[in-house]
Amino acid sequence: MEKQITLTPFERLSLMNQLSILKILDPDNAKDYDAQIEILHGGYAICYEEVFQAVFNEMPMEECEYVYDVLDMHRTLINSFNGLQDKQGLTADDVRFRGFDGNNETKRWAFAEYLQKKGRWQETLVGGMNSHTEMTKHRYPQMLERYEPIKRQITDSLSGKWQLTAEQIKTVIGKKD
């Protein structure tokens, strides 16, 4: 059960004033704004969701960090693959980021889209961000689990070389020879 939204009289009045301004600036949607103003004016808490339906629930910090971890891992895989002299049977498709499943990983997918629009992880966030498959929901945690020890080795070595070998890439992506 979702948490009940409560608003103070000041918050309701502030929102009603903002909606009144929007009604003037966006007359095509005046009817919707009027309905929201009526809900807020009446204090109909059970209907507040109608006012806030366009506002998504907050994405937890752990979820954001997970997306960053997946994107950082793919950045390392892609850059390492591109730097390999001998690809040892690996292809660019083996290391590419496949996105997140828009149906089952909606917040992750939306966040990746946002990061793409902001120009972040440009070598990683290429093409569409919707994988259209639950596979990514299961694949990325497994890849991260295999990547973490390799990442720790690199960090502990203080070499600063984030160039993975073909064998390390194969380990991370779970590719057998």
- In terms of CATH, what superfamily is 61-173? yfbu gene product, domain 2 (1.10.3190.10)
Residues 154, 162: Cα–Cα separation, whole Å? 7
pLDDT tens track for 68-98: 999 999 999 999 999 999 999 999 999 999 9
Cβ atoms 136, 99 nearer than 8 A? yes
- For residue 67, give the nearest of 30, 121, 11 by alpha carbon: 121
Position 162 scores a pLDDT of 78
9-51 maps to which CATH number? 1.10.287
* Residues with pLDDT less than 70, the chain: 1-3, 157-160, 177
Query: What are the boundaries of each domain within the chain?
Result: 9-51, 61-173
Bin 8: left if φ > 0, else alpha if -120 < ψ < 50, else beta.
beta
Using DSSP's 3-state secondary structure scheme, residue 130 falls into strand
pTM assigned to the model: 0.78
**Residue 1 has what pLDDT?**
45
Quote the DSSP letter at residue 28. G
